[in-house]
């Protein structure tokens, strides 16, 4: 019976030219229907991007019959017969369907039913659905006061394709306060859903997005994966990292959570921002300090900043609490700084054999300092240096900072101006790099993942008339001067981009 059903569904034309009137056994001619145009042999579309429009032209052998006598239905069914499922797309003759189908090859079928005789005709065509969301830059920001998500897709061998307003067709409520876009994946194991995730962090909640369609709904709220009974349904994540052993670390609402084994569970345990297993929690800075490896995972020790005691502390992904760090005589600074954190950045710059992290801090007497240290050694975090950067122009108004992976260079944004400094033991020097006139700089993103061997970074700006723009730059390989040059594409008419990440798979 199943095979007969499939054969019926896949017949190109199912036409019956007469029907049997059971009342008097006389055979009557019926109104035959043919498709005479408007349907191509095959179609291709992008899921969650394309709208499929088909306007069939029909001919009838009895043209005087009323139009409302007929019923129209569009179906899609996978060419993989093992799936054996028809999906209804529309009840109108003219198809106008926003593609939400998963990536696959489909048979697309139009059925026309004569409601008086119950005779049904069908015609079919092929539909190939693929995705634009495999490789590319996800760009999180704001549009018309709400969270917006755009993507610059980079298909293999093709030009970049910009897709805007990815959230407009999601089943998420309107959200406010874009925070951070994070895509976590194992290049050597892309098929494992447990270890590959795409997360959108906002003030109104943190949601996992489907990696193929970029769709989501309220059931994908990450708060449902946290054991902590005090966690809010509007849990506002701010940072997340993962290691090669499939452990994941999350910060949100100034609280630290750890998932020790993604392969067995996707859930996070109780808060780890405390100094013993059952102790009181402290308020943690929203970002994690860690040493980046080749594909963007962490190893060994990590660090967070205790905002209450104003000190750096360490923890391991297998720990349920944090540890106070010891100081040594002659250190360039103490771990307990007494300062307020301004920003954190994890770079590709190697010092003491490990990747370097930086912290920009403000003292009670309104001085600004740059701390350099190595979080991820086996023996625990190690200090590098501390620099007084109070004299840098506009440093008191700067909110975005990135660091070179090759040289001791820091870039920072003040309004529409892009600045840089070189920090050496001999002193700190400054250079103004660019000015975007009246367009505010909304994003600085250093590429520590996709082109990690190059000093590539992105600048996002916003214009009230033309919208958001993101431009790609590179720091030239010159140890004697800080020189930047525009490379690659410039993407315009985006949302007001405040966070971006590379999505692979």
Confidence of residue 428 (pLDDT cuts 50, 70, 90): very high
Q: Which residue has the higher pLDDT, 109 or 191?
A: 109
Per the prediction, the chain carries an average pLDDT of 88
Beta pairing, strands 417-424 & 409-414 = antiparallel
Is residue 237 within 8 Å of 287, Cβ to Cβ? Answer: no
Q: Which of 168, 46, 53, 156 is nearest to 103 (CA)?
A: 46
- Written as six digits, the tokens of 329 are 């005589």
Confidence of residue 468 (pLDDT cuts 50, 70, 90): very high
User: Average pLDDT in the 66-91 region?
Assistant: 87
Looking at residue 295, what is its pLDDT? 60
Q: Over the stretch 215-254, which tens digit does the pLDDT of each residue have?
A: 899 999 999 999 999 999 999 999 999 876 678 899 999 9
Beta pairing, strands 42-46 & 51-54 = unpaired
Q: Which of 126, 116, 107, 119 is nearest to 15 (CA)?
A: 119
Q: Over the stretch 396-422, which tens digit does the pLDDT of each residue have?
A: 999 999 999 999 999 999 999 999 999
Looking at residue 13, what is its pLDDT? 34
Looking at residue 296, what is its pLDDT? 62
Q: What is the DSSP letter of 335?
A: S
Looking at residue 318, what is its pLDDT? 72
Is residue 502 within 8 Å of 449, Cβ to Cβ? Answer: yes
Return d(Cα 102, Cα 77) in angstroms, integer: 11
Q: Over the stretch 25-74, which tens digit does the pLDDT of each residue have?
A: 455 566 788 888 999 999 999 888 889 999 999 888 876 667 688 899 99
Looking at residue 64, what is its pLDDT? 60
Looking at residue 2, what is its pLDDT? 34
User: Average pLDDT in the 12-17 region?
Assistant: 36
Beta pairing, strands 237-242 & 248-252 = antiparallel
3-state class (DSSP) for residue 453: coil
Looking at residue 63, what is its pLDDT? 65
Q: Which of 423, 304, 433 is nearest to 369 (CA)?
A: 423
Is residue 362 within 8 Å of 371, Cβ to Cβ? Answer: no
Q: Is the pLDDT of residue 1 over 50?
A: no
Return d(Cα 428, Cα 421) in angstroms, integer: 7
3-state class (DSSP) for residue 407: coil
- Written as six digits, the tokens of 364 are 């009670």
Q: Over the stretch 268-300, which tens digit does the pLDDT of each residue have?
A: 989 999 999 889 999 999 999 998 876 666 777
The pTM of this model reads 0.82
Return d(Cα 207, Cα 237) in angstroms, integer: 9
Looking at residue 5, what is its pLDDT? 34
What's the CA dihedral at 271, 275, 281, 285 to 10 degrees?
Answer: -80
Long-range contacts of 414-420 (CB under 8 A, 24+ apart): 415/440, 415/441, 416/440, 416/441, 416/461, 417/441, 418/459, 419/392, 419/393, 419/394, 420/482
DSSP state letters, 252-266: ETTEEEEES-TTT--
Q: Which of 217, 141, 144, 151 is nearest to 179 (CA)?
A: 141
- Written as six digits, the tokens of 243 are 């290691």
Looking at residue 450, what is its pLDDT? 83
Q: Where is mean pLDDT largest: 22-26, 84-88, 108-112?
A: 108-112
Q: How buried is residue 356: exposed, middle or buried, by Cβ count under 10 Å (0-12/13-18/19+)? A: buried
* HSE value, Cβ hemisphere, 13 Å, CA-based, for 432: 10
3-state class (DSSP) for residue 387: strand
Q: Is the pLDDT of residue 445 over 50?
A: yes
Distance from the first to the final alpha carbon of the chain: 39
Return d(Cα 170, Cα 113) in angstroms, integer: 33
Please state, for a pLDDT cut of 90, what percent of the chain lies above it.
63
- Residues 190-203 as b/e (b if ≥16 CB within 10 A, e otherwise) read eeeeebbbbbbbbe
User: Average pLDDT in the 467-495 region?
Assistant: 94
Return d(Cα 134, Cα 185) in angstroms, integer: 12
3-state class (DSSP) for residue 17: coil
Looking at residue 4, what is its pLDDT? 34
Angstrom CA distances, 460 to 17, 161, 473, stand at 64, 18, 11
Q: What is the Cα 207 distance to its own chain's centre?
A: 10
Return d(Cα 5, Cα 272) in angstroms, integer: 57
Return d(Cα 177, Cα 386) in angstroms, integer: 33
Q: Is the pLDDT of residue 452 over 90?
A: no
Looking at residue 248, what is its pLDDT? 86
Q: Over the stretch 303-349, which tens digit does the pLDDT of each residue have?
A: 999 999 999 999 987 788 999 999 999 999 999 999 999 999 999 99
Q: Over the stretch 350-388, which tens digit does the pLDDT of each residue have?
A: 998 889 999 999 999 999 999 999 998 888 899 999 999
Is residue 75 within 8 Å of 109, Cβ to Cβ? Answer: yes
Looking at residue 165, what is its pLDDT? 94
Look at the chain and count its residues. 505
User: Average pLDDT in the 172-186 region?
Assistant: 91
Looking at residue 157, what is its pLDDT? 55
Q: How buried is residue 112: exposed, middle or buried, by Cβ count under 10 Å (0-12/13-18/19+)? A: buried
Q: Which of 104, 125, 8 is nearest to 56 (CA)?
A: 125
User: Average pLDDT in the 429-449 region?
Assistant: 94
Return d(Cα 77, Cα 57) in angstroms, integer: 23
DSSP state letters, 219-287: GGBGGGGB--TT--TT--EEEEEEBTTS-EEEEETTEEEEES-TTT---B-S---BSSTTS-B--B-SS
């Amino acid at each position: 019976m199943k095979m007969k059903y499939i054969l019926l569904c896949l017949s190109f034309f199912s036409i019956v030219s007469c029907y049997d009137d059971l009342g008097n056994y006389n055979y009557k001619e019926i109104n035959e229907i043919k498709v005479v145009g408007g349907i191509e042999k095959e179609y291709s579309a992008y899921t969650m991007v394309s709208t499929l429009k088909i306007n069939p032209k029909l001919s009838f052998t009895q043209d005087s019959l009323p139009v409302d006598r007929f019923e129209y239905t569009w179906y899609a069914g996978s060419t993989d017969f093992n799936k054996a499922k028809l999906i209804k797309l529309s009840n109108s003759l003219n198809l106008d369907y926003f593609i939400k189908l998963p990536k696959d090859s489909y048979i697309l079928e139009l059925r026309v039913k004569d409601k008086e005789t119950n005779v049904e005709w069908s015609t079919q065509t092929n539909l190939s659905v693929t995705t634009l969301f495999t490789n590319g830059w996800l760009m999180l920001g704001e549009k018309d006061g709400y969270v917006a998500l755009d993507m610059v897709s980079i298909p293999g061998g093709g030009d970049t394709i910009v897709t805007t307003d990815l959230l407009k067709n999601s089943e998420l409520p309107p959200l406010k306060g874009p925070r951070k876009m994070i895509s976590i994946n194992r290049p050597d194991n892309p098929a494992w859903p447990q270890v590959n995730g795409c997360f959108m962090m906002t003030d109104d909640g943190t949601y996992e997005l489907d990696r193929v369609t970029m769709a989501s709904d309220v059931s994908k709220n990450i708060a449902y994966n946290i054991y902590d009974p005090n966690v809010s349904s509007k849990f506002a994540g701010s940072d997340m990292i993962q290691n090669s052993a499939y452990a994941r670390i999350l910060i949100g609402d100034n609280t630290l959570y750890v998932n020790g084994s993604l392969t067995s569970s996707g859930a996070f345990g109780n808060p780890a921002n405390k100094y013993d297993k059952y102790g009181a929690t402290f308020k943690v800075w929203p970002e994690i300090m860690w040493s980046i490896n080749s594909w963007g995972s962490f190893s060994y020790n990590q660090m967070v900043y205790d905002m209450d005691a104003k000190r750096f502390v360490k923890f391991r992904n297998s720990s349920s609490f944090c540890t106070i760090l010891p100081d040594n005589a002659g250190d360039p600074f103490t771990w307990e700084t007494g300062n307020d954190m301004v920003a954190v950045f994890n770079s590709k710059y190697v010092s003491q054999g490990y990747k370097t992290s930086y912290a920009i801090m403000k003292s009670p007497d309104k001085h600004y300092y740059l701390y350099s240290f190595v979080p991820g050694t086996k023996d625990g975090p190690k200090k590098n240096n501390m620099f007084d950067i109070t004299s840098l122009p506009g440093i008191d108004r700067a909110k975005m900072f990135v660091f070179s992976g090759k040289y001791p260079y820091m870039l920072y944004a003040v309004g529409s101006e892009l600045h840089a400094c070189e920090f050496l033991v001999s002193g700190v020097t400054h250079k103004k790099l660019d000015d975007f006139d009246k367009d505010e700089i909304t994003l600085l993103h250093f590429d520590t993942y996709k082109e990690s061997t190059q000093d590539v970074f992105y600048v996002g700006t916003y214009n009230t008339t033309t919208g958001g723009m993101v431009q790609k730059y590179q720091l030239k390989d010159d140890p004697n001067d800080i020189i930047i040059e525009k490379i690659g594409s410039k993407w315009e008419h985006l949302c007001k981009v405040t966070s971006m990440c590379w999505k692979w798979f």
